[in-house]
Structure 1
């Protein structure tokens, strides 16, 4: 059990104040009741059905549906909102009175449970990369993974707040896009000779690309101080061009360690060509971040060491940034060990929390939020920037396998539209090495258009 403590309430208060732009106060009335109030106001909002299930690391409980319009509320996406609950929903769910309002559903408990990923703690139902998969989650099992259920409920709570305190003007959020690129393979030239030989043979057999017999060894031999313009993985300037055309900033996350010979990158961040690439990214106003190597996710010391290595290189190259973030390699994540490691490494944000096997809202939100360690009951300095879509999840046969085309694009655009409807942030990961055809480039550009 990860019970409601004073620190839990402070974190929830911080979250609500950040979301709504006002200084609310939360206090614990008794074991089943929370009160949300404003200073110098006699009105309050009471949550009188707190559920212990939201303070446990498990997923085996029911989920119901609530219809906002039946109680004169406006739903942001669809007129049914998922309501995970161990008890039957009351009718009406929300009641108003002279003293304010009473909500008979534990919105704040759900928020705590989803955002702090309690169901993942000590889970043993993991995939072959030791990741908590989407298929294990409560959201997937009950059909709301592609809905930002926390944002939906907080929008309903905002409507309650405005009825209780009509004089308040709540913070208005604007839809945004965050695009990032894990630099697993910055250049074809870093591919080992043996692997290059296999690639050349495969391309000759499948596509009869005779020119690969010349171009592939040429790239390998000539990439020393800078990436070659014909390198199929060298899409960095193109990516920055597309971001700039859409008033966006790209973030490029570099691997800075070797903990798995097969799965980690075939480059060192100190290479002249990588330093030159980092300088070019920085000079164009884009972001450089960390992509900790495969074996680090349960080893805080290694994450800290790789973060320090990246920052050292950037200092040597006169690259200064106001904040530092990144994402774990292969989206490997052990909660809350990995989160605490990012915090202790002095990082400002992490953008790992999306699923590899299915797109959607792993944390139930598309808003960045302050991190909290439910085991130590401490709010952390690092922030969580949820990942909504990774291109490989949609395209690759190992996951959804939708390939390149309208079916895959429409799946991505649907999630983007959902983020738009709740005025949140659409966070998209697209690897620089996954743009090897004009069809892929057109698909990527379509994802960013207004």
Structure 2
């Protein structure tokens, strides 16, 4: 048991230490504000204050974990053995940076509470982030900081044994459109034929016709093949189905069609299934509640997992809505158009609501890349493997989001990449 002496025990401090020391490093931690209790403790201990009491393991604290609400935070990026860090500490500090304050800043998404320039969908973009501006978006800095801290900590306490984590690959599959051509209704089907003709997409016209008359399999109906693939490589995939109403950004078939319900049930028998919340539900809790009820009814199981379509992650309101509807796991923490670690970590963590100043029961599962088929798969290969290597070094979770659309035979390069990831890093 690690005993931490501090002048004030706040929810932020408890949340951050519990996550870094216990959930990542596996070291139990307790706190005290009494000097005599700290001095009498003969086991592992450290102080987290402005000045050390003596020659104990000491990390000089910044003010962030003792404040409430949001304020302007002055950040200067420096290097800790070639790893970007901020909140530098004095020379007396055993660790040259306050990794606890810096980690809280990243995990709580503090910067997303501050004013920022939104994109056309009202989203926070990677380009606004501290990590992007300072070139450390593609490394899980929080997990790296923890490993560096552990090395110094074990030099002081050689008998301390950290919990050994194992590297995990977690493929996440979005299902925004279950089928390319079939079961889409008369009006949408006729409209598709008309669009193919107007845009001179004659090969697509032929494919559509072949599927509809039963001469060819629908190109997006590849679920059985990928269930077998995941079994072969002993990898658990997470599938997220979009079942909201048809709209400008949501184009799936009706959830009331039996073939769609059977598909969802079949996938849920072999894999983890969650809700791909519709574009409009990001700001409408009633729609989100309705979609959760639809999926629950379809699979006859409680629905605890959710992702936001288009990554419409509006902090903190969307997460508050999830908590109100009793979701327990979110898989939206990442960027749709940029690879990297949005919260600076490759480890699941609990959402801390700065407005309420509490740790919530919602567990956030971050991903570091999302493939939509809008770019060439080969462009990403080197960066993907570099990030996977960084995650392997800290024994974290390498989570990547794919769409069933880009895993079809129409996207051979993406399908090849998906299989290679299973072979090489699963």
Q: CA offsets, 1:211-234, max 9 Å, x none? A: x44441353476xxxxx9711111
Match of 1:442 in 2: 416
Q: Using the alignment, how far apart are the partners of 2:347 and 2:226 within structure 1? A: 24
Pairwise CA distance, 1:263: 0.4
Match of 1:23 in 2: 28
Q: CA offsets, 1:99-142, max 9 Å, x none? A: xxxx3421111111100101001534111111100000011011
For residue 170 of structure 2, the aligned residue among 178, 197, 201 is 178
Contact 2:349–2:365 under 8 Å retained in 1: yes
Contact 1:290–1:326 under 8 Å retained in 2: yes
Distance change >3 Å, CA 53–CA 203, structure 1 → 2: farther
Q: CA offsets, 1:397-418, max 9 Å, x none? A: xxxx4x132x322222221121
Match of 1:246 in 2: 233
Match of 1:125 in 2: 117
Verify: 1:311 aligned to 2:293, yes or no: no
For residue 353 of structure 1, the aligned residue among 319, 330, 333 is 333
Pairwise CA distance, 1:158: 1.4
Q: CA offsets, 1:372-393, max 9 Å, x none? A: 111101211110000111013x
Contact 1:325–1:350 under 8 Å retained in 2: yes
Distance change >3 Å, CA 160–CA 202, structure 1 → 2: farther
Contact 1:89–1:105 under 8 Å retained in 2: yes
Verify: 1:298 aligned to 2:271, yes or no: no
Match of 1:100 in 2: none
Contact 1:123–1:132 under 8 Å retained in 2: no
Q: Using the alignment, how far apart are the partners of 2:286 and 2:406 within structure 1? A: 31
Verify: 1:279 aligned to 2:280, yes or no: no
Higher mean C-alpha deviation, range 172-181 or range 237-246: 237-246
For residue 101 of structure 2, the aligned residue among 93, 98, 109 is 109
Distance change >3 Å, CA 7–CA 53, structure 1 → 2: closer
Pairwise CA distance, 1:238: 2.0
Write the mapping of 1:302-381 to structure 2, written as runs, cut at 5 A: 302-315=287-300, 320=301, 324-381=304-361
SS at match of 2:399: strand
Contact 1:25–1:38 under 8 Å retained in 2: no
**TM-score when normalising by structure 1:** 0.80
For residue 263 of structure 1, the aligned residue among 244, 249, 266 is 249
Q: Using the alignment, how far apart are the partners of 1:93 and 1:344 within structure 2? A: 45
* Unmatched tracts of structure 1, length 5 or more: 68-79, 96-102, 223-227
Match of 2:84 in 1: 82
Distance change >3 Å, CA 128–CA 350, structure 1 → 2: same
Pairwise CA distance, 1:365: 0.3
Distance change >3 Å, CA 53–CA 267, structure 1 → 2: same
Q: Using the alignment, how far apart are the partners of 1:178 and 1:303 within structure 2? A: 25
Distance change >3 Å, CA 330–CA 57, structure 1 → 2: farther
How many residues matched? 397
Q: Using the alignment, how far apart are the partners of 1:60 and 1:238 within structure 2? A: 51
Match of 1:166 in 2: 158
Q: Using the alignment, how far apart are the partners of 1:265 and 1:14 within structure 2? A: 42
Q: Using the alignment, how far apart are the partners of 1:255 and 1:20 within structure 2? A: 36
Match of 1:217 in 2: 209
For residue 64 of structure 1, the aligned residue among 78, 97, 103 is 78
Match of 1:47 in 2: 59
Q: Using the alignment, how far apart are the partners of 1:123 and 1:194 within structure 2? A: 45
Q: Using the alignment, how far apart are the partners of 1:333 and 1:38 within structure 2? A: 47
Match of 1:288 in 2: 273
Contact 1:93–1:105 under 8 Å retained in 2: no
CA RMSD of aligned residues (A): 2.9
Q: Using the alignment, how far apart are the partners of 1:218 and 1:334 within structure 2? A: 42
Distance change >3 Å, CA 161–CA 36, structure 1 → 2: farther
Contact 1:24–1:39 under 8 Å retained in 2: no
Match of 1:426 in 2: 398
Q: Using the alignment, how far apart are the partners of 1:57 and 1:218 within structure 2? A: 60
Higher mean C-alpha deviation, range 146-155 or range 302-311: 302-311
